[in-house]
Amino acid sequence: MASDTKVDTAPLLFIAAQHMGLEPFWLIPNGLFGITTPHGERYINFARSPLNSHVSASLVRDKYAARAILARNHLPNIPYRLCRTIEDARQFLAVHRTIVVKPRSGSGSRDIHIVSQPSQLVGLTIAHYICEKYIPGTEMRYLLLNDEVIAVHHSEYGASVAADRTLQRISYAPQDWDPALVAMTRRIASAFGLHFAAVDFMIAENGHAYILEINSTPGLKWFHAPSSGPPVDAARLLLEAILVAGPTPPVM
């Protein structure tokens, strides 16, 4: 199912379930819904993807933990620091000149600051944030499902990081995907034990690719309705994978 209309992820999954004859029904509007299978009812809560374990999801949700794991696996990390004090952040800023200060646990580009002057650090409870070097370039997103990349697009929104920024997502056909980034996406997912994830890369002006972020519950609307380029029916592919995986085992 592809559409020019931007629909949030939970309704996209619900519509896909309807098209698949799974008789979905909402338990929490636009959040949690059930489906009917030969083995009984299953429940879909996209905020907690059943394909990823609780541990795997928590590792990428904590941005400092994610950076530490990337470093241990010798993957192309962005320089980072968990600053305990404003003075720590000032020192990091002095080295890198422009930095990104973002919540250690956060999503959706909320409460993210591009800092180029020490005065911009005033008022931040810096221990709640992670500091990263600011690297301008082209942001690419690779969507992975069960060790296979299923969609790729790049984001265009200039230097802004505001949640309400103008955003364009340009989808790429498979023949235009970067094989090196496809392989790296698979390696990253393996390192974290993720079966479903989006990996964001920042391609710097010199062509070097840095890992910008990893998301264990990426939104799907831009894959279904990109600004341009081929759409991907990611919701159906995800539901099919969930059904094949069977009931989610208890969290240990």
Task: Give the pLDDT band (50/70/90) at residue 113.
Answer: very high
Q: For position 225, what pLDDT does the model report?
A: 93
Q: What is the pLDDT of residues 11-24, one digit of tens each?
A: 999 999 999 999 99
Are 237 and 245 in contact, with CB atoms under 8 Å apart? no
Q: Are 51 and 196 in contact (CB under 8 A)?
A: yes
Burial (0-12, 13-18, 19+ Cβ within 10 Å), 44: buried
DSSP H/E element including 41: strand 40-45
Domain boundaries 52-76+136-245, corresponding CATH code:
3.30.470.20
Q: What is the pLDDT of residues 25-42, one digit of tens each?
A: 999 988 899 998 888 889
- Predicted model pTM: 0.90
Q: What is the pLDDT of residue 48?
A: 80
Strands 80-81 and 168-171: unpaired
Q: How many CB atoms lie within 10 A of CB 155?
A: 16
Task: Look at residue 251 in the predicted model and tell me its pLDDT.
Answer: 36
Angstrom distance (rounded) from CA 220 to CA 241: 15
> Of 158, 151, 201, 207, which is closest to residue 176 (Cα–Cα)?
151
**80-133: what fold?**
Dna Ligase; domain 1 (3.30.1490)
Which pLDDT does position 111 carry in this prediction?
Answer: 87
Where do the structural domains in the chain lie, given as residue ranges?
52-76+136-245, 80-133
pLDDT band at 89 (very low <50, low <70, confident <90, very high): very high
Q: What is the pLDDT of residue 110?
A: 79
pLDDT band at 166 (very low <50, low <70, confident <90, very high): low
Name the pLDDT band for 45 (thresholds 50, 70, 90): confident
DSSP 69-129: HHHHTT--PPPEE--SSHHHHHHHHHHHSSEEEEESS--TTTT-EEE-SGGGGTT--GGGE
Flag whether pLDDT at 205 surpasses 60: yes
Give residue 156's pLDDT band: very low, low, confident or very high (50, 70, 90).
confident
**Interatomic CA distance for residues 125 and 122, integer angstroms:** 9
Is it the case that residue 249 has pLDDT exceeding 70? no
pLDDT, mean of residues 240-244: 92
**DSSP state at residue 248:** P
Mean pLDDT, all residues of the chain: 90
